[in-house]
Structure 1
Amino acid sequence: MAKERLISLDVFRGLTILLMTIVNNPGSWEHIYPLLEHAEWNGCTPTDLVFPFFIFIMGVAIPFAMPEKIFDGSTFNKIAVRALRIFCLGLFLNFFGKIELFELQGIPLLIGRLAITIAVCYALMGNFSLKIKTYVTLTVFVVLLFLAYSGIEAYQEVRIPGVLQRIGIVYFFVSFLYLKTRQRIQILTVVLLLLLYWVLMALVPVPGIGAANFEKGTNLAAWLDSVLLKGHMWVYSKTWDPEGILSTLPAIATGITGLLIGQWLNRPLPKLEIVKKMALTGILLVVLGLLWNTVFPINKSLWTSSYVLYTSGIAILCLTLLYYIIDAVDYRRGTKLFLIWGVNPMIVFFFSGIIPQGLRMIQLQNPELSTEQINLQKYLYSFWIAPFFNNPLDSSLAGALIYVGIWSFILWLFYKNNLIFKV
């Protein structure tokens, strides 16, 4: 039986998904405040904290979802199916914009894509028996992979990796590790994964390139992606993927770090004692990450070992502060907004990837150029938001905040009616 929800964790998750929504939905991608952009390569901005925070939070939540460490065939099946459902949701996001239906175009094609989306969403988020979940999820997974490698022109370059795909993989391994090992083994696993990844990236020569390096597109992780994911990588590079294969190893370490904190929070210890231990651990990891940065740069795209320690440390400190205020002191005023975001993160993430693509498929006549058309997303921003601001950075941020406001209303309705969508 699942333990009672940890409110500070839900609030932390809500803050993270809200920041993600702002970052991923600017009014204009050409005008973004620096803090809301990813680091060009090495380094870490607030935006670069979002993804590792998600994985860390997922790790923290595992002991609360499975307080009794019982590992049997049914438990393994549940974990595997949930991981695969998350993976398939992410994979479908990569398919949405490539779906072809006969020779449909424009609105008819959009309606067809949305109908398929609703069917897939129901299949992967519906509350069925475990047996039905297993068969349905496997069917969706096989169909998507078949399409990706079928040679059909529309899907021959569809991306296989992605954010949800990595979360699904990390969830599977971290859950398995939680149920089968003790904390000493989990700590040792983190250390070994981070050291192994460092050694591979720093010492192993890159085939066809030369010496080991940490540069964009020429490192060992990029080479492995180019071999195993050829034609199915990030659209902006097509030669490497920021959620690629090798860099998933240290991402698992991020999840285990969250798992260790989750087990601390699950212990029957005085809350102030937990706060002190977490704060010290967070500070230690941040310092270690900065020290390691001198030889293995903090880098999100490579998910370097220093990046794992640095971002995990910051995540621990953020959760510590929230845990102290909300759970230890029992002060919850002003947390409702983030709470309603935190209990329904998957529905926001999934449809935040669908909605912008759908808006871009709707074409309108450009009021300023009668001979040209403009997509609905650009139309709404250009004529309903941007004219009210002199600074394009402000108008772009306003576009993101309006989008957040719309989602906040939707999530409030879900929360009010006790609708929580789980995978």
Structure 2
Amino acid sequence: MTNGEPALSTGIAGQTTSTRVASIDVFRGLTMAVMIFVNALSSVKGMPWWTEHAPGNVDVMTYVDMVFPFFLFILGVSMPIAVTQRLKRNPSEPQLWAHILLRSLSLIVLGYVIANAEKADMRLMPLSGGLWAFLALLSASLYLNVYPKSERFTRLFVVLKYAGLIGLVILLGLFRRLSHGHAAWLDPSYPEILGLIGFSYVASSILYVPTRRWPWAAVAWFTIMITFCSLSAAKVIAFPGRLPLYLWPFGNGAMPAIIMAGVVTSSIFLQAASEKKTRRAMLTGGGFALTLLLLGLLLTPLGISKIRATPTWCLYSAGAAVLLFTVLYWLCDVRGKTAWADFVRPAGANTLLTYLLPDLWYFIFLALGFAYLDTHLNAGLPGVLKTVCFTALMLWFARLLTRAKIRLQI
């Protein structure tokens, strides 16, 4: 994977590269592993405060608060590669925008499915919320799966793909919840992590795509977004908190800023790789990370909170992500040491499938009414060990399904 041979790399938003950058897959895989672990650990009782998201009313952040920003960062790292490769295959910019909007919409829909599952009301729809969400994610998976080329099964694959799409549309139409005493459709108030990524992706594309040929554009956009975030945190600008993301996908600027930090990092390392100037890339990457951390420290008076999306949270998370990527790039792409990360590489290369696996697991057990694992081994060290085993199981499923050529791509 480090010698430039053609390969396919698919990220959570479906980015592809003709040359696999090992550190991108490893970074995504490690982020996925930590995400699965912390999500499962949140149901374990008696854990220290730093193993959970910090409350929004205190100025502190934990390692858990950096998982989502790491997703956004590596999306930014992948974005220039994805756009370049897509335009090589099809130089039409309208087609590129259609693809970006479809990706974003797909992530947003998946996010709303996950976020609304437990709000479903069986009195208003013919199936439980758990079964509804499981079938909806399964249908989406059938549609998003990358089917292998096969003359023998071409018709079957087409049927499966569009059966999945039709099934998802039907299930979305069936959804009902109770709101203020009346039947209502999907609650749009929170689109879950996938939806937030989808909105942030389209917002960052609006910034990046038209200016991608300008060498310092990504740095400029990052600076503008951090400034916007700072002004929002200081209450100088108030409108971002009043507008829903489907009207203003930039939010308060924090999430697009983290993505643009990834774009800047991508330009540092991938340009240096093409020019064989690894030392310069390592120094520049380290300097960029240090700059972000120092800026975060300077903006501490504006608060430190993931819930409030403060600039210090944004800068600390982005700085840590740049440092980690710098180390992984040196270790995986420069030194070629990737065997240690074999347990997470499939999760990094098949990220969307890996992301959905814990939800599919949860929703099928919810539909079956099986709650033994929720009520046993759910405190202290036994709960931690159960969480470790669950994380390993999900990574093993991801590896098994990837080997079976089951790959989701938006």
Please classify the TM superposition score into its range, dividing by the shorter chain length: 0.7 to 0.9
Q: 1:35 deviation in Å?
A: 3.2
Match of 2:33 in 1: 18
**1:211-253 Cα deviation digits (max 9, x unpaired):** xxxxxxxxx765x26xx59xxxxxxxxxxxxxx9774522111
User: CA separation of 1:382/1:99 partners in 2, compared to 1, >3 Å: closer, same or farther?
Assistant: closer
Query: What is the deviation of 1:279?
Result: 1.1
User: Conserved in 2, the CA contact under 8 Å of 1:26 and 1:397?
Assistant: yes
Q: Which of 325, 329, 332 matches 2:335?
A: 329
Decide which moves more: 66-75 or 308-317: 66-75
| Aligned-pair CA distance for 1:358 | 3.7
Structure 1 length-normalised TM? 0.76
| Aligned residue number for residue 192 of structure 1 | 224
Structure-2 residue corresponding to 1:213:
none
| SS across alignment from 2:23 | helix
In 1: Cα distance, 2:75 partner to 2:142 partner: 22
Report if aligned partners of 2:134, 2:363 keep a CA contact under 8 Å in 1: no
The residue type equivalent to 1:198 in the other structure is: S
Change (3 A) 1:125 1:99: farther
Does the Cα contact within 8 Å between 1:247 and 1:303 map onto a contact in 2? no
Note the C-alpha offset of 1:123: 3.5
For residue 329 of structure 1, report the CA deviation from its aligned partner. Answer: 1.3
Please say if 1:171 is aligned against 2:201.
yes
TM-superposed CA distance for 1:301, in Å, is: 1.0
Matches within 5 A, 1:248-397: 249-267=253-271, 268-269=274-275, 270-293=277-300, 295-363=301-369, 376-377=370-371, 379-383=372-376, 385=377, 392-397=379-384
Secondary structure of the 1:301 match is: coil
Alpha-carbon shift at residue 145 of structure 1 (Å) = 12
CA deviation after TM superposition for structure 1 residue 110, in Å:
4.8
8 Å contact kept, 2:303–2:310: yes
SS state at 1:422 partner? coil
Q: CA deviation at 1:96?
A: 2.4
Deviation at 1:115, TM superposition (A): 3.0
Question: Is 1:117 the equivalent of 2:124?
Answer: no
CA contact (8 A) 1:254 1:312 kept: yes
Partner of 2:53: 38
Q: Is the 8 A contact 1:174 1:259 kept in 2?
A: no
How far apart are residue 32 of structure 1 and its match?
2.5
Q: CA distance change for structure 1 residues 398 and 74 in 2, over 3 Å: closer, same or farther? A: same
The one-letter amino acid of 1:40's match is: P
Q: Counterpart of 2:24 in structure 1: which amino acid? A: L
TM-score by length of 2: 0.78
Conservation of the 8 A alpha-carbon contact between 1:64 and 1:266: no
Residues 95-118 of structure 1: CA distance to partner in whole angstroms, max 9, x if unpaired? Answer: 323345677888x77545533432
Q: 1:89 aligns with which of 110, 117, 126?
A: 110
Residues 116 and 16 (structure 1), Cα distance of their counterparts in 2 relative to 1, 3 Å cut: closer
Deviation of the 1:140 alpha carbon = 4.8
Structure 1 counterpart of 2:12: none
Instruction: Please give the alpha-carbon distance, in whole angstroms, between the structure 1 residues aligned to 2:232 and 2:125.
Output: 48
Q: Distance in 2 between matches of 1:381 and 1:143?
A: 28
Q: 1:59 Cα deviation (Å)?
A: 0.6
Counterparts in 2 of 1:60-139, with a 5 A limit? 60-67=77-84, 70=91, 72-100=93-121, 110-111=130-131, 113-124=133-144
Query: What whole-Å deviation, never above 9, does each CA across 1:192-226 have from its counterpart, x for those lacking one?
Result: 222123223314487xxxxxxxxxxxxx765x26x
Could you say if the C-alpha distance between residues 362 and 149 of structure 1 is closer, same or farther in structure 2, counting changes exceeding 3 Å? closer
| Separation in 1, partners of 2:171, 2:206 | 23
Q: Which amino acid aligns with 1:422?
A: Q
Shift of 1:83: 1.1
Task: Give me the whole-angstrom Cα distance separating, in 2, the residues matched to 1:123 and 1:419.
Answer: 12
Q: Report percent identity of matched pairs.
A: 21
Q: Which secondary structure does the structure 1 equivalent of 2:338 belong to?
A: coil
Instruction: Check conservation: 1:3, 1:67, Cα contact below 8 A.
Output: no
Structure 1 residues 288-342: Cα deviation after superposition (integer angstroms, max 9, x where no partner) = 111211x211211121122222111110000001111111111223110121221
Could you say if the C-alpha distance between residues 87 and 329 of structure 1 is closer, same or farther in structure 2, counting changes exceeding 3 Å?
A: same
Compare 115-124 and 42-51 and name the one that shifted more: 115-124
Question: Is the partner of 2:344 in helix, strand or coil?
Answer: helix
Residue 153 of structure 1: SS of its match in structure 2?
Answer: strand
Cα distance, 1:279–1:145 mapped onto 2, change above 3 Å: farther
Q: Which amino acid aligns with 2:303?
A: P
Q: Give the Cα–Cα distance (whole angstroms) in 2 for the partners of residues 286 and 321 of structure 1.
A: 16
The residue matched to 1:3 in structure 2 has which SS?
coil
Gaps in structure 1 of 5+ consecutive residues: 207-219, 230-243, 364-375, 387-391
Q: Which amino acid aligns with 1:189?
A: W
* Contact 2:261/2:318, CA 8 A, preserved across alignment: yes
Greater alpha carbon shift after TM alignment, 53-62 vs 410-419? 410-419
- The verdict on how the C-alpha distance between 1:187 and 1:158 changes in structure 2, with shifts beyond 3 A counting, is closer
Number of equivalenced pairs:
368
CA offset at residue 281 of structure 1?
0.8
The equivalent position to 2:385 in structure 1, one of 394, 398, 409, is: 398
Give me the CA root mean square deviation: 3.5
Distance 1:326 1:117, change over 3 A: closer
**2:125–2:174 CA contact under 8 A, matched in 1:** no
CA distance, structure 1, for counterparts of residue 315 and residue 278 of structure 2: 24
